[in-house]
Amino acid sequence: MKCMLSLIVVISILPACRPATSASADDKSKVHVGIVFDIGGKDDRSFNAAAWQGVNRAAKDFPIILRDVEPGDPTSIEPAMRAFAERGYDLIIGVGFAQTPQIEAVAKDYPKLNFAIVDGVSRLPNVASLIFKEHEGSYLVGMIAAMTSRSGILGFVGGMDVPLIHKFELGYEEGAKAVNPKIRVIPNYVGVTDAAWNDPVKGKELARTQIEKGADVIFAAAGNSGLGAFDAVEQYGKDGQGRAQRFVIGVDSNQTWMKPGFVLTSMVKRVDNAVYQIVKDRVENRPIGGVHVYGLENEGIGYAVDQYNKDLIPQPAIQAVEAAKQKIITGQIKVTNAMEK
């Protein structure tokens, strides 16, 4: 009994020790934004991380209330969206194409709330579809890969074997072939389920197999699994002049800082910009339904050149890629979109 009493005493004193938490959670005048991440979680340093960065930047710039969920398993995605909807959140963002059916189900039940889905397409009037022209960015990094490769063999490690990732693969191959028609691309996919985004061990295995087959530049479009490819190229070390033997190309977020010298560039998908923009639209009360396309022309897609990789790509290569970028924007170069084939 004494033990119980002391517990009760402790528990009643503890809250008094701290300053009261900000009770601003129910300030109805502010726009409430809820974001539901993919299985990878917001620290995947890639796709989800970019979305997380975007909403956080928006939270700094606008007076919004922001809450996030990392569902952890696919069954918790829809309940999390419904929890936001029940509380009347003004904008609910789903990250990743796999959440499209869930967000549509919830959006139908709550027609007055706004929703946004990253990478997915929905026809509902209250759902904004944020999609990217990944094939165009992949084309540009494919060019850089082909200009860097000495063996004439490139690798591609995809996450889940789905049409969305085929878009990356085909664009990459077309870009590489534009530079060197004889180049060969070895494509491999981590898996066919959600787990494919979160399996760095398998990612590494695939990258090593490709290197053993002769590939010297590997494009990893596999979320968390792609980090395995980073480890694989690092294992092959650098030559006498301090240049890496094998290179990896990052995806979604700029990943050149992660293994400096080994990361040739990153196919940057500005999920952060897209998410930031949709929050801004909601705050400024613009209608947000419909398809929002992000490509080279509006800086939604790009390739990374910064202090970590500027010595890896020679200036003429950059000029060639920039020229191709302008031609894609003006329509002179047509990159095949694998999802519209």
Partner 1 sequence: MSRIQGYAKNAYPLANFLAPLRGARYTAQLMKLIRELTFPLIAILAAFLVGGILVALIGDDPIQTYALLIGSALSWPDGIGYTLFYATPLIFTGLAVAMGFRCGLLNIGAEGQLTVAAFATAWAGISFANSSAWMLIPLTCLVAIASGALWATIPGVLKARFGSHEVINTIMMNFIAVGVASALTQTYFKQQGDPILETLPIGDGAHIPRIGQIIPGIPARIPLNMAFVVAVLACALMYVFLWRTKWGYEIRATGANPNAAEYGGISVKKQIVLAMAVSGGLAGMVAINEVLGYRYRYYQGFSPQYGFTGIAVALLGRNHPAGVLVAALFFGALTRGGLFVDIFTEKVSKDLVLILQALVILFVAAEAVFRRRMGKTESQV
Residue ranges in contact with partner 1 by CB under 8 A: 4, 7-8, 10-11, 14-15, 18, 20-22, 25, 34, 67-69, 73-76, 79-80, 82-84, 86-87, 97-98, 101, 109, 160, 162-164, 192-194
Smallest separation (angstroms) from partner 1 to the CB of 69: 5
Residue 20 or 340: which CB sits closer to partner 1? 20
Cβ-proximal residues to 173 (8 Å cutoff; 6+ apart), any chain = 142, 156, 185
From residue 307, alpha-carbon distances to 209, 256, 257, 264, 283 in Å are 30, 9, 9, 12, 35
Smallest separation (angstroms) from partner 1 to the CB of 97: 7
Residue 34 or 226: which CB sits closer to partner 1? 34
Residue 69 or 317: which CB sits closer to partner 1? 69
From start to end of the chain, where are the E strands? Answer: 31-36, 64-69, 91-95, 114-118, 127-132, 153-160, 184-191, 217-221, 247-252, 263-269, 290-294, 301-303
Smallest separation (angstroms) from partner 1 to the CB of 307: 36
Cβ proximity of 79 and 36 under 8 Å: no
Residue 37 or 139: which CB sits closer to partner 1? 37
Q: Kindly give the interhelix angle for 163-179 and 134-148, rounded to the nearest 10 degrees.
A: 40
Smallest separation (angstroms) from partner 1 to the CB of 11: 5
Residue 69 or 178: which CB sits closer to partner 1? 69
Smallest separation (angstroms) from partner 1 to the CB of 220: 19
**Which structure tokens are listed for 55?**
């909403």
DSSP state of 29: T
First to last CA, the chain: 73
Smallest separation (angstroms) from partner 1 to the CB of 108: 9
**Which structure tokens are listed for 321?**
């890629």
**DSSP-based three-state secondary structure for 108:** helix
Residue 75 or 315: which CB sits closer to partner 1? 75
